[in-house]
Amino acid sequence: MTSVRTPLPPVSPAGVLGRCRELVEPALREAVGTLHPWPRRMASFALGWCEADGTPVTGGGGKGVRQALAVLGAEAVGAAGDEGVVAAVAVELVHTFSLTHDDVMDGDERRRHRESAWRAYGTGPAVLAGDALFALAVETLARHGGGHTGAAVARLAGSLRELVRGQADDLLFEERPWTGAAAVRPAEYEAMAAGKTGSLLACALTLGPVLADAPPPVVEALGEAGRQLGAAFQAVDDLLGIWGDPGTTGKPVHGDLVRGKKTFPVLAALAADGPAARELAALLSPGVPLDAVSARRAAGLVEAAGGRDAALAEARSRVAAARECLYGVPLAPRTVDELVALTGFLVDRRL
């Protein structure tokens, strides 16, 4: 007997994100509510729930991609609802922790159209808020109970190790030249992006399945899908860091070029041979911060040398690879539809 898959109504990325947010937010607010009042205030600010002074706001915060992936990962293997929620809470807390500390390390003053936490509260308090979020993530997951909690916590901590590794590389890349023997190689860039972005997306998709003791090949396929999505996500972030609309991204125009950040489009452009690549190399080689005019010129040269197209192609091919992973193992079909809709959104957001 073969089963015929009934066509289901199409899913919208916004609908999926909204549904998952509704599932997760009460538990996330409950967890954050247990913190000491001061880190609680700062954590709520970092999560987009309030202004720096504690005034509640609505509609703030990030897109909630990671929490949605955690819910969908659990649903894809038929895990209990609370397993997806606890996974989503842990992943969202770790993500907010990492944004808070990364902004300290990178000196980024803006985040999601507002001051970053260290600008709003000072460096020391922002470090403390990050630590509180980190500890809360681990505690939330560890207290979930069940026989597979240890494995789930080990997975979360392993993704934190990879986050740290990626952030360390990213910081070290800033010291390295654009050209010559010491320049950042594409493989190094990919490893950095895998750590900084892919590890947490892989963790998000697999945490619920690990709690639910899903078969290892299924967990592995979801993890690989997460890593591929991470690479796509990073490539799109890199595109937005150069060509994104500041009104949408909440970050300055050409910001990554002004800061001399090593990103996929620029590295791809420099790796291309041709007059635009050579002029770009000459512009960047002194290693001094670019002014607005030079940054605009650099953005044009990256595009002319094919860097913009290469990054977009990279994002699309990684998303295709992620979808292959999802189609290759038995997962709940409706959830796969929702995951696929989200992967499309990751590439097309604000481009």
- Kindly state whether residue 80 participates in binding a copy of itself, applying the rule CB under 8 A: no
Residue 132 or 280: which CB sits closer to a copy of itself?
132
Q: Kindly state whether residue 213 participates in binding a copy of itself, applying the rule CB under 8 A.
A: no
| Euclidean distance between CA atoms 351 and 345, whole angstroms | 10
- Sign of the torsion angle spanned by Cα atoms 241, 243, 248, 252: positive
Instruction: Answer for the pair 262, 184: CB distance below 8 angstroms, yes or no.
Output: yes
DSSP string of 70-106, one letter each residue: HHHHHHHTT--HHHHHHHHHHHHHHHHHHHHHHHHHH
Asked if 29 interacts with a copy of itself (CB under 8 A), we say no
How far is residue 8's CA from residue 106's CA, in Å, rounded to a whole number?
A: 45
Q: Which of 36, 23, 37 lies closest to 86 in space, CA to CA?
A: 23
Residue 254 in the binding site for a copy of itself (CB under 8 A): no
* From candidates 8, 14, 80, 171, binder to a copy of itself by CB under 8 A: 171
DSSP 3-state of 114:
strand
Selected from 11, 27, 157, 340, the binder of a copy of itself by CB under 8 A is: 157
Of the residues 51, 82, 115, 139, which one makes contact with a copy of itself according to CB under 8 A:
139
Binding mask 113-132 for a copy of itself (x = CB under 8 A): ----------xxx-xx-xxx
Q: State the nearest-atom distance from the C-beta of 130 to a copy of itself, in Å.
A: 8
Enclosing H/E stretch for 276: helix 275-284
Least distance to a copy of itself, CB of residue 82, Å: 15
- For a copy of itself, the binding residues (CB under 8 A) are 34-36, 38-39, 101, 104-107, 123-125, 127-128, 130-132, 134-136, 138-139, 142-147, 149-151, 153-154, 156-158, 160-161, 163-165, 167-169, 171-172
